[in-house]
Amino acid sequence: MDAKTKASINLHAVLRNVQELCDIDDAAKDVVKDKKITVKFSVKDCEPMALAFDSGKCTYLRGDALDGGAAKGALKLYFSSPEKFNKLVDGEKVTPIPSGAITKIGFALKEFSVLTDRLSHYLRPKPEEKDELLKDARYFEVNTTFLAYTAFHALAEIGNNDPVGREIAHRMPDGKINVEVKDGPAVGIAIKDGRMSVKIGSYENPSARMVFGNLQIVNDVLNGRTDVYSAMGAGLFAISGLIPLLDNMSKLLGSVARYLG
């Protein structure tokens, strides 16, 4: 497992979910309802990202979006290696190097910890609680939506960073893929010159589409209880469009579980 790829997944596939968390979870909303602060995460050799909180809303930022606006005056947390950042996400005690608005370090130590605990509640429930939690329809919906967002954002980070993943991504023709759930969430994946990006929501006129019949089949596939071929045979999964895009994306998706565990 490549440490840089895992750190990129933790930044841009796992922690980015805090944006949606603050929209749907009452406890998360309450924590940030009066906050105006941006926290920037910089990990050596990885593309940085920031989470900007403003009056109960959170905005995920990366790339050019970090050059100004909300990212100015941010509390900056620097990690000297991908390995150290990965340990922090895995629950080990790691102290980043703070800079910028260090007077707001208390937010990272207190309120932000509440947010990551709430995210873990949905993404990584305790084994002894998981089955009971999933009986609740609302919890099941949020859990599955976050699983899907995380998996397909992670897929792009693997295509951009993992040595084998980069080879696969560079074999993909330029185009856009919509991954959709009937009456549910959707993500759009774009490939340009072997570089992948992901957005929440669909593209108009995509090059290819993957459509899941319902959230249950998404949950089953992402948890390894079934595969897309069985789902297709049952009429619960369909693909269309540029097949080389979908074929190579499926190969990348096969690596996601290895990184997310």
Q: Grade residue 229 by pLDDT with cuts at 50, 70 and 90.
A: confident
Residue that the structure tokens 């980015």 belong to:
16
Per CATH, 3-124 and 133-260 having the same topology is answered yes
Residue 72 scores a pLDDT above 80: no
What's the confidence (pLDDT) of residue 21?
95
* pLDDT at residue 192 is higher than 90: yes
Query: Which residues neighbour 146 within 8 Å (Cβ) at sequence distance 6 or greater?
Result: 17, 20, 21, 119, 122, 123
Q: Which residues contact 141 (CB under 8 A, 6 or more apart)?
A: 215
Domain ranges of the chain: 3-124, 133-260
Q: What are phi and psi of 126, to 5 degrees?
A: -60, 135
| pLDDT at residue 157 greater than cutoff 90 | yes
Least confident piece of the model among 59-73, 170-184, 246-260: 59-73
pLDDT surpassing 70 at residue 149: yes
Which residues are CB-contacts of 246 (< 8 A; sequence separation ≥ 6)?
177, 208, 210, 239
Distance CA 125, CA 261 (A): 13
Running DSSP on this structure, what letter comes out for residue 37?
E
Sign of CA dihedral 86, 87, 88, 94: negative
Q: What is the DSSP letter of 65?
A: G
Alpha helix (H) residue ranges in 36-179: 82-89, 105-109, 111-123, 127-133, 137-161, 163-170
Contact in structure between 134 and 227 (CB atoms under 8 Å): no
pLDDT at 34: 87
Provide the percentage of residues in the chain whose pLDDT is more than 70.
95
Structure confidence at residue 68 (pLDDT): 62
pLDDT, tens digit, for every residue of 24-48? 999 999 999 888 889 999 999 999 9
What DSSP element (H or E) covers 99? strand 97-100
- Checking if the pLDDT of 179 tops 70, the result is yes
Cβ pair 194, 200 in contact under 8 A: no
Q: pTM for this structure?
A: 0.90
Residue 252 has pLDDT above 70, yes or no: yes
* Residues forming beta bridges with residue 123, ordered by sequence position: none
Q: Which fold has domain 3-124?
A: Nonspecific Lipid-transfer Protein; Chain A (3.30.1050)
What separation in angstroms does the CA of 12 have from each of 65, 125, 179, 217, 260? Answer: 14, 20, 18, 25, 13
Confidence class for position 70, pLDDT limits 50, 70, 90:
low
* Per-residue pLDDT, 254: 83
Architecture of the domain made up of 133-260: 2-Layer Sandwich (3.30)
Q: What's the whole-number average pLDDT of the chain?
A: 89
Asked whether the beta carbons of 87 and 94 are under 8 A apart, the reply is yes
**When comparing pLDDT for 174 and 71, which is higher?**
174
Of 257, 241, 240, 185, nearest to 214 (Cα)?
A: 185
